[in-house]
């Protein structure tokens, strides 16, 4: 199955927040196709979980970053945490305390001709290439509330593209996708060491 | 010239802070070789510029992230800024005000078999792979002080590996490497859009 042919499935699995690997939203057309199949959420909150975009998440502290690649898909991803999240990661607290929010920020990877020229001058023959965080893809959130979200491991999920939440079908895929990380309280991301 | 053969040059150019492309520190052996050729700095401050590691930089806000690749070299990189830096990036202030500090955190990219298994299950045929921030490589800093560092565009530079500053030869390469970004006040990194 090609990446293109699996687009429908990619769209359906695109919500796994802070997963470092899921939530692809390959192209806008994929997201559009998903909307064609099902009415979009009626509010600015995620379906099922009722989560809105947390204020100020762009200012949260860095948990880790990663790179997702396959076929033509290339994304750069950062995971940020609110204060409760960062403390829990640093202390190794499991399960994460109620109030934890993990944000996953995803960008399309963009080549940089300008940077590559500098690299070619500075490091001749090394064939180095720099790939930057380019256009925004989506932002996702995992919110811990052990009572409210008891049916999904204590986590609520939300996926936003251009500030709009994805549909219900998309959000139904979140928890199953995170199931393999059950022994880490359903969180794939690990705290990056401090260089 | 192979990457291995150009190791000496890579080491010499490894200090360009927050550059999104320089500062390679390919392997510990490369760093060790550099130390063999020249005595390490005598203090915990960077040679030439006298910069020590800024307290709490791991908690600073995210400017952007990038990915550097060439041959066997694969790094994931995050640029964080102190409050003055982040405000300047958001406001588009050039030149950056005195007091700006930009931190560049570099990690070796690490494959994740566990994550790739989840991806293979969720997205069959897409051949997706997840690469995480693995072992720490180095941390670098650009500090703006237009008077103190007038000879180098108003910027002081510092490169630390395992908390120890690189040598003087290394730090002599910083400013020339940043010269191509003169029209952006010698800063390569751009502020990533908020997804």
pLDDT, tens digit, for every residue of B44-74? 999 999 999 999 999 999 999 999 999 889 9
Cβ of residue B67 closer than 8 Å to a chain A Cβ: yes
pLDDT digits (tens, 9 = 90+) for A65-95: 999 999 889 999 999 999 999 999 999 999 9
Query: Distance between terminal CA atoms of chain A?
Result: 40
Picking from A136, A137, A135, A139, the residue whose alpha carbon sits closest to that of residue A51 is A139
pLDDT digits (tens, 9 = 90+) for A26-68: 333 333 344 444 444 458 999 999 999 999 999 999 999 999 9
Asked whether the predicted pLDDT for residue A8 surpasses 80, the reply is no
Contact A136 B195 (CB under 8 A): yes
pLDDT of residue A171: 97
Confirm if B135 and A193 have CB atoms less than 8 A apart.
yes
* Average pLDDT score over chain B: 84
User: What are the Cα distances from residue A35, in Å, to A14, A40, A51, A168?
Assistant: 13, 6, 19, 10
Q: Which of B1, B20, B21, B83 to mutate to test the interface with A (most CBs of A within 10 A)?
A: B21
pTM of the entire predicted model: 0.83
Report residues of chain B scoring pLDDT below 70.
1-42
Cβ of residue B105 closer than 8 Å to a chain A Cβ: yes
CB contacts < 8 A (A, B): 208
Confirm if A82 and A54 have CB atoms less than 8 A apart.
yes
Distance CA A65, CA B103 (A): 15
Distance CA B39, CA B121 (A): 52
How would you class A169 by CB atoms within 10 Å of its CB: exposed for 0-12, middle for 13-18, buried for 19 or more? Answer: middle
Contact A70 B123 (CB under 8 A): yes
Picking from B38, B60, B76, the residue whose alpha carbon sits closest to that of residue B173 is B38
Whose tokens are 């791991």? That residue is B58
Contact A70 B131 (CB under 8 A): no
Distance CA B102, CA B88 (A): 11
pLDDT of residue B33: 42
CA dihedral A80, B195, B98, B179 (to 10 degrees): 110
pLDDT of residue B117: 87
Contact B139 A194 (CB under 8 A): yes
How would you class B179 by CB atoms within 10 Å of its CB: exposed for 0-12, middle for 13-18, buried for 19 or more? Answer: exposed
Distance CA A168, CA A187 (A): 21
Element (DSSP H or E) covering residue A70 = strand A61-70
Confirm if A65 and A98 have CB atoms less than 8 A apart.
no
| β-strand pairing of A61-70 with B129-144 | antiparallel
Cβ of residue A106 closer than 8 Å to a chain B Cβ: yes
In chain B, the residue whose alpha carbon lies closest to the alpha carbon of A67 is B131
Cβ of residue A76 closer than 8 Å to a chain B Cβ: yes
Which of B128, B130, B138 is closest, CB to CB, to A195? Answer: B138
| β-strand pairing of B61-70 with A155-161 | unpaired
Q: Is ipTM beyond 0.85?
A: no
Picking from A179, A144, A195, A159, the residue whose alpha carbon sits closest to that of residue A10 is A159
């Amino acid at each position: 199955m090609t990446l293109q042919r699996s687009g429908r499935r990619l769209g359906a699995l695109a919500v796994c927040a802070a997963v470092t690997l899921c939530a692809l939203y390959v192209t806008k057309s994929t997201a559009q196709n998903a909307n064609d199949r099902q009415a979009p959420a009626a509010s600015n909150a995620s379906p099922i979980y009722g989560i809105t975009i947390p204020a100020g998440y762009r200012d949260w502290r860095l948990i880790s970053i990663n790179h997702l690649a396959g076929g033509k898909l290339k994304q750069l991803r950062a995971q940020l945490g609110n204060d409760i999240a960062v403390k829990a990661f640093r202390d190794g607290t499991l399960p994460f305390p109620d109030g934890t929010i993990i944000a996953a920020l995803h960008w399309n990877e963009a080549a940089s001709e300008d940077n590559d020229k500098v690299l070619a001058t500075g490091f001749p023959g090394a064939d180095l290439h720099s790939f930057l965080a380019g256009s925004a893809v989506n932002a996702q959130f995992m919110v811990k509330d052990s009572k409210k979200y008891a049916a999904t491991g204590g986590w609520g999920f939300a996926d936003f593209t251009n500030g709009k939440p994805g549909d219900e079908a998309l959000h139904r895929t979140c928890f199953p996708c995170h199931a393999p990380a059950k022994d880490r309280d359903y969180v794939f991301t690990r705290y990056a060491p401090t260089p």
